[in-house]
A and B are shown apart, each in its own frame.
Chain A
Amino acid sequence: MSPGLALLAAVTAALLLLIGRAIVLARRGAPVEVRPLAPVAAVADAIDSAVAAGRPVFFVPGSRDLDNMQTVAALSLLEQVARLCAEKGARLHVPVNRSMVMQMARSTCRAAFEAAGRGHAWRDDQVDYISDDPLGFVARVDGLVERERPGACFYFGFFASESLLLAEGGRHVGAVQVAGTASPVQLPFFVSSCDETLMGEELFAAGAKLSGDAALLGSLRGQDLGKRLAVALIVAGVALASLAQAGWAPAAAAWRVVSGLLAEV
C-alpha cells in the first residue's frame, strides 16, 4: 500500500471508529442532541395536511439504483414516511424507476404498515414500477400527480434533470412538497420549487432523526465528530500551505510531504 493510500486508510479508520463509538455510546444511553431540521418536521405536517384534505401522499425515492447511497438513504426515509402514513391513515403511492428499488420499497413499506398494525391497508402495487427511462418515468409521475392530485409529495435521493420536472408538477397541483438530495447541482431547483429541502448530509441524517432510534442518532453524533476532524484537517492544511508560501522552511518541507501524499490518493 502506498503512503498516500495508507494516510487515506488511517483517516477512514478514524472516521469509522468515531461513528462506531458514538453508536455504542448512544446505545448505552448517552444523550444525543440533534438540531431541529425543518424539513423533517415538515414531513409529518405534510402527511397531516394530505390526510385532512383526503388526498394521497407521493414518495419518489430518487432515480438511481440501490448501488447509490442516496437511494439507500431515501429508502431509510421511506420507512419512516410509510410508518407515519400507516399511523395517520394516509394513502401512500411510491412510483419507482428501478426494479430492485421496487422490491426493497415494497418490503420496507409492508414492514412499516405491519409494524403500525395496519398491514391490511397495504397493497404491494402502491409501489409502482414505471420505467428505467428517466424522462418516461417523469412523464408518468407528472401524469399521476395531475390526475390523483396528491396532498404531499416527497422527493428524496439522487435526481438529475428530473428534479425540476417532478417538483414543478407537484407544485402545480398545490401539494406540500419536501425534497432532499445530495446532488449540489439539483439543490437550487428543489429549493425554489419545494416547501422544504434537505441539503446534502441532511438527507442521510433525516431517516435517523425521524425514527428517533438512539443508535441511529448516535451515528449522527459520530458524523459531527467526523466533521470536526475534517475542519481541523482543512484548517491545518490551510495554515501549512500559507506558512510554506510565506517561505518558512520547515512548513515548506512539511507541505511538500503532505502534497506528495495527497497526489498519490
Chain B
Amino acid sequence: MARFQPRHLLAAVAVTLIVAAFVAPPGGDDPGGPAAFFAFCDAQFSSWFGILAVFAFLLGGVSLVGTHLRRVLLRERDWTYSIVTLVSFLGVLVVGLAKLGGAPGLQGDPFAPDAWLTKVFDGVLSPLHATLYSLLAFYVASASYRAFRARSLETSVLLGSALVVLVGRIPSADRLTAWLPADMAFLRLEALSLWLLKVPNTAGQRAIMIGVALGVVSLAVRMIAGVERGKGGLE
C-alpha cells in the first residue's frame, strides 16, 4: 500500500473543490444530499486556509526577528538598518497588542480613532506609502520613453496607438478632429481611441486570459496527478 504523503491530501482537496464548484456553486440554493457535503467543504477549506495563514504569519514574524537580530548581533553588513526594522516591528506589535490609546480588552477596536495604532498608520505608514507610490510617476515616464521609441515597425505602431489613445482621452480631444464630416466620424480621435481600447486591446487581453486559464488547468492537473510532487516539499 502506498505511503500517505501530503500530495495525496492536496489531490483530495483539489478534486473535492473542483466537484464542489459544479454541484454546489457559490450563491446557489442550499443543496441537499451529497452536494451539501461539497458545499460544506468549499466553505470550510477557505476558512482553514485563513487559519493556516495566521499561524504561518507567526513563522514569518519569528523569521524576521531572528534574521535581523542575528545581523545586529554579528554586526553583519548594513546591520544598522536591522535595528530600525526590529524597533519598528516590535514597537508596532506592542502598540497593537496592548491597544494603547484605544478601548482595551479582546473586543476593543485596535483601529479606533484615538488608538496609537491608527496614529502610526495615518502618521507614518500612509505618508511612506504615498512617497513610494509617487515614484511610479517617474518610473512610468522613463519606461514609456523606452517602450515608445520608434526603432522598428512594431514599436512605431505601438507609438502611434499610444499617441492616439493618450490624445483621445484628454477632455478637449473632440475639438481636434471635430472638423471631420459625420460619415468619417469613426476617424475622430475620441472614436479611434475608444476603438483601440475596446477592440484590439480587449482581443489581446482575452487571448492572454484564455491561455492563462488553460495554463492554470494544466498546472492543477500536474499537481493533482503528483507530477509536480517535488515542488515546495510536497514529496
Contacts and interface: CB of A to CB of B under 8 A. Distances in A.
Interface of A: 1, 5, 8-9, 12, 15-16, 19-20, 23, 65, 67, 69, 72-73, 75-76, 79, 98-100, 102-105, 107-108, 110-111, 125, 128-130, 132-133, 135-136, 138-139, 143, 147, 161, 164-165, 168, 182, 184, 187-189, 191-193, 199-201, 203-205, 208, 213, 215-216, 219-220, 222-223, 226-227, 230
Contact of B132 (A73, A138, A182, A227): A138
Contact of B221 (A76, A98, A128, A222): A222
Closest 5 CB pairs of A and B: A204-B215, A99-B60, A107-B233, A201-B211, A99-B56
Given A16-B217, A204-B218, A104 B212 contact: no
Contact of A219 (B70, B140, B204, B221): B221
A197 B174 CA distance: 37
Given A5-B22, A65-B53, A192-B143, A15 B214 contact: yes
Say what secondary structure dominates the interface of chain B. Answer: helix
B32 to A, nearest CB: 13
B38 to A, nearest CB: 12
Interface string B118-148: 0000000100110011011001101110110
B221 A104 contact: no
Contacts of A216: 222, 227-228
Say which size band chain B's interface belongs to.
35 or more
Nearest to B222: A219
Given A79-B231, A100-B52, A189 B143 contact: yes
A76 to B, nearest CB: 5
Contacts of A8: 22
Given A135-B133, A138-B132, A219-B222, 9 more contacts: A5-B25, A76-B231, A99-B57, A111-B233, A165-B139, A189-B140, A192-B144, A216-B222, A223-B214
A219 B227 contact: yes
Nearest to A107: B233
Contacts of B64: 129-130
Contacts of B57: 99, 132
